[in-house]
């Protein structure tokens, strides 16, 4: 029987690479994004390359609680509760706390933090009952290190790390693993248009490989946090 992974924001960047890595090992996939064309492209690619596995793609804006809940219910009804949950949905808008546009904080907290909070709550009961599961939060170096122009994005990522630490403590006795992934600058759509050589960034596939490695530890061990930085340091 195939295992099942849910990856939010799975059409591009780190999310797409995680889907690819787990699909190669036989996992069924559920994912969501806001762009329907990107979802359809992913679905066609998946069906061509992994014809014996299931994929569910759902157009959803996870900054909205009702759409988070609707996505979770569709996942459970069509494929079932996941063994692995990757809270990857995120948005980055640079700016300083004292000058950034009104609404930046609300948008990034709702997208980067609340989406993970509400979606995790939808799946934990089944993981506890099954006595197994693994939840990953895709955070950021911005959740560890203050830097200029981080603004509300950094606030949301510090909060995401705190959320994940609390979740780890709550679920450890139920054999549910919880891991924070804290990558530095990774070559994804967020960096499109910048005049920085691609080789200066980390590869999204390296982040996906780190997730896969953490997932594959024995039941007696868990990686609580993975910090990954470009070899030449932060940008």
* Residue 126, pLDDT score: 97
Q: How would you class 38 by CB atoms within 10 Å of its CB: exposed for 0-12, middle for 13-18, buried for 19 or more?
A: middle
pLDDT for 184 equals: 86
CATH of the domain at 149: 3.40.50.720
- Assess if residue 235 is contained within a domain: no
Q: Is 91 helix (H, G, I), strand (E, B) or coil?
A: coil
Residue 168 inside a domain? The answer is yes
**Closest listed residue to residue 8, CA positions, set 66, 70, 55, 68:** 68
Residue 105: other Cβ atoms inside 10 A: 18
Q: Please give the structure tokens belonging to residue 88.
A: 């990857």
234 assigned to some structural domain: no
Is 42 contained in some domain? yes
What's the structural domain count of the chain?
A: 1
Under DSSP, the state recorded for 88 is -
Given a cut of 90, is residue 154 above it in pLDDT?
A: yes
Per-residue pLDDT tens digits for 165-223? 999 999 999 999 999 999 988 877 666 667 777 788 889 999 999 999 999 999 999 99
- Give the Cα separation of 206 and 203 in Å (integer): 5
Q: What pLDDT does residue 25 have?
A: 97
Tens-place pLDDT, residues 26-45: 999 999 999 999 999 999 99
Give the model confidence (pLDDT) of 81-124 as tens digits. Answer: 999 999 999 998 889 999 999 999 999 999 999 999 999 999 99
pLDDT at position 146 is 87
Alpha helices per DSSP H over 63-203: 65-78, 104-108, 115-130, 151-171
The parent domain of residue 117 ranges over 4-228
């Amino acid at each position: 029987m195939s295992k099942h992974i849910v990856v939010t924001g799975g059409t591009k960047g780190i999310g797409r690479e995680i889907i690819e890595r787990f699909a190669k090992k036989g996992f069924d996939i559920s994912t969501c994004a806001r762009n329907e064309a990107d979802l359809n492209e992913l679905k066609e690619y998946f069906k061509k390359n992994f014809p014996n596995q299931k994929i569910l793609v759902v157009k959803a804006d996870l900054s909205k609680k009702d759409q988070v809940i609707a996505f979770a219910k569709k996942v459970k009804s069509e494929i079932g509760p996941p063994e692995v949950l990757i809270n990857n949905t995120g948005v980055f808008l640079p700016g300083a706390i004292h000058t950034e546009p009104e609404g930046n904080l609300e948008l990034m907290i709702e997208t980067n933090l609340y989406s993970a909070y509400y979606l995790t709550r939808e799946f934990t009961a089944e993981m506890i009952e099954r006595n197994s599961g693994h939840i990953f939060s895709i955070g950021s170096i911005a959740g560890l290190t203050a830097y200029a122009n981080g603004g509300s994005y950094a606030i949301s990522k510090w909060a995401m790390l705190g959320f994940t630490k609390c979740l780890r403590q709550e679920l450890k006795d139920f054999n549910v693993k919880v891991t924070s992934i804290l990558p530095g600058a990774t070559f994804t759509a967020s960096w499109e248009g910048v005049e920085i050589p691609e080789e200066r960034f980390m590869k999204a596939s390296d982040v996906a490989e780190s997730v896969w490695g953490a997932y594959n530890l024995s039941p007696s061990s868990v990686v609580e946090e993975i910090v990954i930085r470009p070899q030449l340091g932060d940008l």
